[in-house]
Every structure is written in structure tokens, then in C-alpha cells.
Amino acid sequence: METQTQWNPAGPDVQSVLAQVTDPLLALAKGEIPAILLRQAYDPGQCQKLLRRFLQWGLMRDPLDKSSADKRTRIDIGTSLGNRGHDKEGFLSHAVATHGLFSHLFQPFDDPVQMLYSNLQALAKDKKVRVAQEADGRQYGPAIFRIHYETHSYKPHFDHVTLREKRFDYAVSRFEHQFAGILCLQNSSQGGRSAQTILHRSLWTPDVQPHLDAETFPAYAAANRIEQYRVELAPGDLYFFNSRCIHEIPPLDGNDPRAVLAVFIGYSQEDNDIYVWS
Ligand SMILES: O=C(O)CCC(=O)C(=O)O
Ligand SMILES: [Fe+2]
């Protein structure tokens, strides 16, 4: 539906966001703003240094090594509930290893995971931001690095543990709303054009699903004059969005892979805890 209000993000730092929006995470939950966009939340010089370390430690493929047998267009460093959630024990033990790796992976640089959590905590008012955990205290992976190589794309989609993934046997299934947090470490670009996330002003409902399945969402969005917001990121920029909003990233090109640190966030207005996982 066409709406009169402009759909603009809050930003560019926590203090400004809190001056612009009384309760920024509630505004995200309601879809009133497309994103909370925090510029230069992490030192861009350290983004490069982290990526160099990932290469040196063999955690990612060298994009210039075209002879590599590894043809994956996306490499993850961390534990993904989406990919491993079918095996709860396997998922939780993989998460233990990720906590171990992340305890020394960043030294002597600033810890980007801590940076993300403390920004989220500053936006969360009196709610408590914590790593998602099961009732017995076992924690999920705290965050995940995703390295996306040339041609990788995300078609229009949404992310939600119960509404999309239909997982009802995890502690995070209790949350009504799900957000994503993304720190850009490196953009993929070609000739000055860089692929960026597009957020559509459309919170998923069952009647949108046929358009996602048939890949006709662009026509549906045009016919319904659905607003969109293109998130232009530089290395060090951090943004949060409601992952129930239909979103996409066009195919990447260029030798530099798009590298991000990503989390999912569970939020309910009446819940004092905010759970973060990957
Ligand atoms: O990398 C991003 O900005 C968002 C990626 C995304 O949509 C996802 O991981 O589900
Ligand atoms: Fe997504």
C-alpha cells in the first residue's frame, strides 16, 4: 500500500537514534523505520586487518586463487542455526567451538562481536541483550562472519525462526519479532557499483509467499508501490533491520568478496530479554 510517511532509517549513531526515536527496537518491530544505521561503529582499518587474519588462518578462500577446488560462493566463520538447527546437539557443540575460536580470533584488534552487542544494548533501553541460550544454559553461536564471493546473491526473502524456518523446539522460538544485525567489513564492487541490501516496506504475510516462491516479488512490489530502502554501507558501518521485511541483495561482482559480521536478534515487547545468535 502506498503510504504518506517517508520510510527512512534512524542514525548515524546511537545518541542520534535515541533522540530521533523513543524506542528504536520497537519502531523496528513495527516496521516504522527500515533500519537503524550506525556509521563507522567499527574501525575500517581493523576490518581489513581482520580479513587478512581470516586468510592467514585459512578460514576463508583467497578470492584471487581461481584454481582453488573450493567453489563455494559463501563461506561462514561461525555457527549457523539455519544450517545446523536440524541437529540440536551438533549445533550446540559447534557453538562451543565457535566461542573458543572467537575468544582469541580478534586479538589484538577490537572485538567486533562485543562492539555489535554493546551498540544493541545501548538501543535496547532497559531490556537485557544476551547470547541466546537453551533452558539448560547452553549457548548458541554469538555471531557469524559471512564471506560472499562473486555471483552470490540473496533473492527477495525474509528470515524468521518460526514463520519461515518452522523451528519450534528452540528457546529463540518464543520471540515474536526477529531482527538482523550486520557489520560491513568489506564491500564487493565493480567499476564504482557495489551490491547493497535492499529492504522492502513489506512485512511478510502468507499472501506474499507465492510471490517469493514464483520470483515475482519485484512485479508485486511495483504494482503495490511498496517503498524500498537501499542500505549503502562502507566498511565499519553497522545496521539493524527487521528480518521479516522482504529483503534482497543483487548478485555480487568484483574480486573483493562482500564480508560481513551477522547476527539474528529475538525481540518481544513484553520480554525483558533480547536474545542474539547466528
Ligand atoms: O548481508 C546482509 O546485509 C543481509 C544478508 C541476508 O539477507 C541474510 O543473511 O539473510
Ligand atoms: Fe536475510
- Assess if residue 126 is contained within a domain: yes
pTM of the full structure = 0.95
Q: Please tell me if the CB atom of residue 208 comes closer than 6 angstroms to any atom of ligand 1.
A: no
Quote the number of domains for the chain.
1
- Can you tell me which atom of ligand 1 is nearest the CA of 159? 10
- Assess if residue 3 is contained within a domain: no
Query: Structural domain of residue 58, as residue ranges?
Result: 14-63+71-277
- Assess if residue 265 is contained within a domain: yes
Instruction: Pick from 149, 185, 197 the residue to mutate for probing ligand 1's pocket: most ligand atoms within 8 Å of its CB.
Output: 197
Interval between CA 108 and ligand 2 midpoint (Å): 31
CATH code of the domain containing 180: 2.60.120.620
- Assess if residue 8 is contained within a domain: no
Per-residue pLDDT of the chain (278 residues; tens, 9 = 90+): 445 568 999 999 999 999 999 999 999 999 999 999 999 999 999 999 999 999 999 999 988 888 888 888 899 999 999 999 999 999 999 999 999 999 999 999 999 999 999 999 999 999 999 999 999 999 999 999 999 988 888 999 999 999 999 999 999 999 999 999 999 999 987 766 777 899 999 999 999 999 999 999 999 999 999 999 999 999 999 999 999 999 999 887 777 899 999 999 999 999 999 999 99
Ligand nearest to the CA of 184: 1
Q: Please tell me if the CB atom of residue 182 comes closer than 6 angstroms to any atom of ligand 1.
A: yes
- DSSP letters for 185-234: EE--EETTEE--EEEEEEE--GGGHHHHHTT-HHHHHHHTT--EEEE---
Residues in a beta bridge with 248? 198
- Assess if residue 5 is contained within a domain: no
